[in-house]
Amino acid sequence: MRVVLVIAAGFASAALSYLGTGLHPIWPLLWFAPVPVLVIAPRLRASTAFLLALVAWLIGGLNQWNYFTRGIEFPLPLIALVLIVPAIIFGFGVLCRDGNGV
């Protein structure tokens, strides 16, 4: 049951982030994107909470993949940097909220 909740929270956060960002965002959804991960994070180990937040935000950022690769033709290392850095920051933010410390 716990694994299902973790997957559901990650999926919900990723979906809200995916729809709330990009070239044509539904921006109010972005306000709610962190909530599912933040709700379940205190029940998880710090490493699991960090990984869940990182993966959810990274998946949410993939809505700009076609724009980065075909629209403005960023090099792949730069695309990885643009997508991974915000995901890492969100992961650390979840750790700070979680109370487990960084």
Q: What is the pLDDT of residue 101?
A: 54
Q: What does the alpha-carbon distance between residue 75 and residue 27 come to, in Å, rounded to a whole number? A: 27
Sketch the domain layout of the chain as residue ranges.
2-98
Q: What does the alpha-carbon distance between residue 11 and residue 23 come to, in Å, rounded to a whole number? A: 21
- The predicted-structure confidence for 27-71, as pLDDT tens digits, reads as follows 999 999 999 999 999 999 999 999 999 999 999 999 999 999 999
